Amino acid sequence: MDTANQFFVRELQDMYNAEKQAVRALNEIEQQCKRAEIKRAAARHRRQTEGQIKRLDHVFRAIGSQPSERTCEGVSGLMQEKRSVESERLNQDLTELNALMTALKFERYEVSAYESLIFIAQQMKQREAVRLLKETLKEEQDTAKLMLEQLKKTKMDWQAGATGQQATATARKAAPARRGATATARRGGAAAQRGAASAQRGAASAQRGANASRQRAAAAPRRGPGIAEAASRPRAGTRRGKAA
Ligand SMILES: [Fe+2]
């Protein structure tokens, strides 16, 4: 494959198959859900999806191709995931929640695919294809919104089995305060240690200074108190040592 047109046709084939899978998925969701609103939303979008398949026929023809399909691995994966969760023997509430989550993921996948296809068709100056694909995109966006609203209306015992997580969350909230206190104490201890080391160095330096003074005084000739006193004073220009 080396042209944008080939890539576009390939992706149209993918969506042609995705829409056929969507008809089956929406039918399944309609059967699985007890809430009338979800059943209505699923049935309505299934009818829309049948229209979207016909619309894709027109898109193929508008760009001079024959309608054809290839397996859409993306939505196949979403449906496999749905079945995998269902294999964990869900109760009715969780079956509906799983169905709504799958429907929302499905719609968002389609929205992303159509947004990309519209961009490509615009670049290819395929105006009729752009117009048709935009109609489908609007339906997918509206359905995604509707599915999210239905998801948010779900009522069940959300706290059931959550005791462990709540306890963990509380512990996690307290942890930063404890960590802060420990770090402050650690910093305080280190500062105290540094202070003690500095005091030790100061004392050792003072001791060295005193010893040097005594040695100079002992070495100075005893010519009188004035000279001895002068010898014990540091001379101008000499360093006074670390005691300072
Ligand atoms: Fe669709």
Do 150 and 85 share a structural domain?
yes
- Counting the structural domains of the chain, the total is 2
Average pLDDT for 135-157: 95
Distance 68 CA to ligand 1 centre (A): 16
Average pLDDT for 82-104: 95
- Position 176 in a domain: no
What CA–CA distance (Å, rounded) separates 95 from 81?
13
pLDDT tens by residue, 42-73: 999 999 999 999 999 999 999 999 999 999 99
108 is in which domain, residue-wise? 4-154
Distance 91 CA to ligand 1 centre (A): 28
Distance 126 CA to ligand 1 centre (A): 21
What CA–CA distance (Å, rounded) separates 46 from 101?
17
Average pLDDT, the chain: 83
Query: What is the DSSP secondary-structure string of the chain?
Result: --SHHHHHHHHHHHHHHHHHHHHHHHHHHHHH---HHHHHHHHHHHHHHHHHHHHHHHHHHHTT--------HHHHHHHHHHHHHHTTT--HHHHHHHHHHHHHHHHHHHHHHHHHHHHHHHHTT-HHHHHHHHHHHHHHHHHHHHHHHHHHT--S-TTTT-HHHHHHHHHHHHHHHHHHHHHHHHHHHHHHHHHHHHHHHHHHHHHHHHHHHHHHHHHS--S-HHHHHHHHSPPTTS---TT-
Whether the predicted pLDDT of 168 surpasses 90: no
What CA–CA distance (Å, rounded) separates 30 from 197?
77
Spatial CA neighbour of 82 closest among 24, 125, 41, 160:
24
Whether the predicted pLDDT of 112 surpasses 60: yes
- Position 180 in a domain: no
More confident residue, 145 or 186: 145
Do 145 and 60 share a structural domain?
yes
Q: Residue 71 corresponds to which tokens in the numbers above? A: 């397996």
Distance 39 CA to ligand 1 centre (A): 17
Do 81 and 22 share a structural domain?
yes
Whether the predicted pLDDT of 228 surpasses 50: no
- Position 188 in a domain: no
What CA–CA distance (Å, rounded) separates 10 from 61?
14
Whether the predicted pLDDT of 94 surpasses 60: yes
Give me the CATH number covering residue 147: 1.20.1260.10
Please give the pLDDT value at position 69: 97
- Position 110 in a domain: yes
Please give the pLDDT value at position 73: 97
Whether the predicted pLDDT of 230 surpasses 80: no
Q: Residue 127 corresponds to which tokens in the numbers above? A: 């105006």
> Could you identify the residue written with the tokens 């993918």?
14
Whether the predicted pLDDT of 234 surpasses 60: no
Q: Residue 26 corresponds to which tokens in the numbers above? A: 């929406």
User: Using an 8 Å Cβ cutoff, are 205 and 243 in contact?
Assistant: yes
Whether the predicted pLDDT of 97 surpasses 90: yes
Average pLDDT for 162-191: 63
Do 134 and 229 share a structural domain?
no
Residues with CB under 5 A from ligand 1 (ion): 19, 22, 49, 52, 110
Distance 62 CA to ligand 1 centre (A): 19
More confident residue, 186 or 58: 58
What CA–CA distance (Å, rounded) separates 162 from 164?
6
Please give the pLDDT value at position 22: 97
Of 21-30, 153-162, 233-242, the one with minimum mean pLDDT is: 233-242
Do 130 and 238 share a structural domain?
no
Do 135 and 18 share a structural domain?
yes
Distance 227 CA to ligand 1 centre (A): 109
Do 118 and 53 share a structural domain?
yes
